Structures are given as structure tokens and as C-alpha cells.
Amino acid sequence: MVFKSGIPIYCVGLDVTLQCTLEKNDLDLVHNHPSAQSQLLSTWFNRWVNHFHFEKSVMHDPLAVATLVSEVCQFELKSVVVDLENKRGAIYEDPKGASVYVATKVDRDAFYQLFKTVLFKD
């Protein structure tokens, strides 16, 4: 329903967000930085790691938000449908689907630079 509403929609899917992970060295920077926002994020990362037992963090939401303020992703207009039965929420290309902008590439270096600039600013 939302995709067919006619409003401009930009999607940043898992195929793109999975390319942006915070590895151990990045997580160490967050854990060791004294700012309040870094310490809060450090707490969230620790809870996430303890719950899921992953050694790194995928930046799903931060990357999607970053596209609002920076051209960290390339988008292409595609016709897609949303799967509401098998892989609930997954989008697939379909010529009969709604036209939305889909992220096809990410500039990881630009994203990481923006992430660190925002997180570590004083």
C-alpha cells in the first residue's frame, strides 16, 4: 500500500546494509571514546553482542538514515513488490510492481567517515 501511494520512496535493503559493519577496531573506537553518545552506543553494542553473540554490528538503520544527509548510496528506480507471505517484508523486482528508488551500491568509506564524524564530534 505504501509503495503504491505515489510518494517518492527510497529503500536501503539488506543486500546493501550488510556491506557496512562495524568491525572490532571500529567498535573499540566507540567503546573507548569518552563522549556520552559513544558510551550510550557502546552499551547498546554490548547488549546486542551478548544477546546475539555476534562480534560485529551491521549498520542497517544508521546507513538508511545517512542517505538522508549524504550521498553514501547510489539509487536506481525499480519496479518492485513487497513479499507479505514467504519472506515477509522482502522486496523483489517485478515489472507490475510499484516504482521506488532502491539502493544498489554503497560507498563504505564515505559512510564510515560520516558515522565517525557525527559520533565523535564534540
What are the cell numbers at 69? Answer: 544527509
> How far does CA 114 lie from the centroid of its chain?
13
pLDDT over 90 (residue 9): yes
Give the domains, in start order, of the chain with CATH numbers.
3-120 (3.90.245.10)
Distance CA 97, CA 19 (A): 26
Confidence at residue 56, expressed as pLDDT on a 0 to 100 scale: 78
Mean pLDDT of 98-102: 95
Q: What is the pLDDT of residue 122?
A: 61
What is the pLDDT, as a whole number, of residue 17?
93
Give the whole-angstrom CA distance, residue 30 versus residue 40.
Answer: 9
pTM exceeds 0.85 for this model: no
Is 77's pLDDT higher than 90? yes
